[in-house]
């Protein structure tokens, strides 16, 4: 094979997924001075460079060498929707292979929070979730998780202080890349986001929760509970066929014991499915004696599914029942209702219709 062909075929290394120590080793192996690794890491993870060209304190020849060897994972903006209802923005990004992922920026009094995706698609099959309709396409690389935040900071000029891993995908089904992401985004030489300001949500993969409990993190774990009995949970979430509710709750208890971090239970309220008095009683049995917080999320309608949210009045009634039993509970405030749709919907539209058609649909909306 000729040299030109070889270059074209050779896959470039994913430089944004390297920790600072790994990058330092790479640079040392390439015969570069140690401080170069520091400079490059800063460009990538603090100054949020999108190209080596921008790294103006490196020599032109080093920049060219880096460009030949490495790639800064492409996370290209395809669509930005700005809510008129509240300070929320939704972003659709295209990855190197044409896959699309969604991220959301929510501005609060206490700071800016970004919700990121951890996979392209999801294989968990929860009945009310748009993210799983096309199945799992692939895991996101650590760089692709990080760069959703970096791109949003750069596009909006806003500093991000909080992260929720609650977009498309199951983070514990992409364990290694997810854990690396947590380490890197909270590292002092990177964005340095406090782990206490990071929440990761899981559908309840027991071995993943137990492993995460041993990582020494201070992140909040949110469990997508959605039902107070094993039977009902199974009807909403196929993952419950694999892990019994009692096992999942025991794993959450272990997470709390090891980390001291109170668990959040997420409960998507679906009219006539899990919002009855009996459902509230089941939930009280689980949460009444635990140090936890319950987040009630009136279900977002998904085009392909027929689930309906309860009326505001019924949601409040459900909340009151829990509160009367001393449970710490909130109804999640809806953000970006005019742009949002259910999580994964925007990406679905593009996947189903192709870019041009999706543009039409969005305009028509
Ligand atoms: C999209 S998931 C991603 C994180 C993880 N895979 C999980 O299930 O927890 C984040 C949260 O959104 C919830 N969710 C998914 N589809 C929803 C919908 N249509 N309406 C309300 N919440 C939904 C999930 O149940 C979960 O609690
Ligand atoms: S709710 Fe979470 S685990 Fe379930 S299908 Fe959606 S993204 Fe996957």
Does 224 count as an annotated binding residue? yes
Pocket test for ligand 2, best of 131, 164, 168 (most atoms within 8 A of CB): 131
Tell me: ipTM over 0.85: yes
Task: Please state, in angstroms and rounded to a whole number, the distance separating the CA atoms of residues 39 and 201.
Answer: 34
- Give the CA-trace dihedral at 162, 166, 168, 173, to 10 degrees: 110
**118: its two tokens:** 């951890």
Distance between Cα 166 and ligand 1 center (Å): 7
38, 247, 281, 319 from 290: Cα distances, Å: 45, 15, 15, 17
**308: its two tokens:** 């309906």
> Count of H helices and E strands in the chain?
12, 14
Q: Which CATH architecture has domain 11-71?
A: Orthogonal Bundle (1.10)
Q: Same CATH fold, 203-334 and 74-189?
A: yes
Closest CA to 17 of 142, 119, 183, 151: 142
- The residue assigned the tokens 């009692």 is 246
Task: Please state, in angstroms and rounded to a whole number, the distance separating the CA atoms of residues 29 and 18.
Answer: 14
Residue 358: the pLDDT is 45
The CATH number fitting domain 203-334, selected from 3.40.50.2000, 3.20.20.70, 3.40.50.300, 3.30.70.260: 3.20.20.70
Segment 166-222, tens digit of pLDDT: 999 999 999 999 999 999 999 999 999 999 999 999 999 999 999 999 999 999 999
74-189 topology per CATH:
TIM Barrel (3.20.20)
Closest CA to 13 of 187, 143, 151: 143
Residue ranges per domain, the chain? 11-71, 74-189, 203-334
Does 115 count as an annotated binding residue? no
Pairing state of beta strands 100-108 and 111-115? Answer: antiparallel
Does 126 count as an annotated binding residue? yes
Looking at the annotation, which residues are catalytic? 102, 343
pTM for the full model?
0.93
Closest CA to 265 of 275, 276, 274, 252: 252
Q: Which residues of the chain have pLDDT under 70?
A: 1-9, 340-365
Closest CA to 295 of 232, 223, 229: 223
Distance between Cα 127 and ligand 2 center (Å): 9
- Ligand 2 atom with minimal separation from the 169 CA: 7
Is residue 170 in contact with ligand 1, taking CB distance under 6 Å? yes
């Amino acid at each position: 094979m000729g040299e030109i062909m070889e270059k074209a075929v050779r896959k470039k290394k994913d430089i944004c997924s390297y920790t600072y120590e790994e990058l330092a080793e790479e640079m040392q192996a390439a015969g570069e001075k140690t401080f170069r690794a520091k400079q490059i890491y800063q460009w990538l993870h603090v100054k949020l460079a999108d190209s080596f060209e921008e790294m103006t304190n490196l020599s032109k020849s080093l920049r060219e060498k880096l460009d030949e060897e490495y790639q800064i994972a492409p996370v290209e903006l395809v669509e930005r929707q700005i809510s008129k209802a509240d300070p929320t923005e939704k972003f659709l990004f295209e990855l190197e292979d044409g896959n699309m992922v969604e991220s959301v920026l929510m501005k609060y009094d206490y700071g800016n929070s970004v919700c990121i995706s951890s996979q392209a698609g999801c294989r968990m099959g929860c009945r009310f979730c748009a993210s799983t309709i096309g199945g799992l396409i692939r895991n996101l690389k650590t760089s692709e998780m990080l760069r959703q935040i970096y791109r949003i900071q750069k596009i909006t000029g806003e500093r991000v202080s909080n992260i929720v891993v609650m977009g498309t995908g199951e983070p514990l089904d992409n364990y290694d890349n997810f854990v690396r992401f947590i380490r890197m985004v909270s590292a002092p030489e990177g964005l340095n986001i406090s782990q206490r300001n990071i929440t990761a949500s899981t559908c309840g993969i027991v071995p993943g929760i137990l492993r995460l409990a041993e990582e020494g993190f201070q992140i909040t774990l949110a469990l997508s509970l959605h039902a107070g009995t094993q039977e009902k949970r199974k009807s909403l979430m196929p993952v419950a066929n694999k892990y019994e509710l009692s096992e999942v709750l025991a794993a959450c208890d272990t997470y709390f014991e090891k980390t001291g971090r109170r668990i959040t239970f997420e409960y998507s309220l679906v009219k006539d499915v899990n919002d009855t008095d009996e459902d509230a009683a089941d939930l009280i049995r689980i949460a009444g004696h635990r140090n936890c917080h319950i987040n009630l999320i009136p279900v977002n309608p998904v085009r392909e599914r027929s689930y309906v949210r309860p009326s505001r009045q019924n949601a409040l009634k459900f909340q009151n029942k829990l509160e009367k039993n001393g449970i710490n509970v909130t109804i999640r405030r809806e953000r970006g209702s005019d742009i949002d749709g259910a999580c994964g919907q925007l990406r679905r539209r593009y996947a189903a219709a192709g870019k041009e058609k999706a543009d039409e649909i969005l305009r028509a909306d």
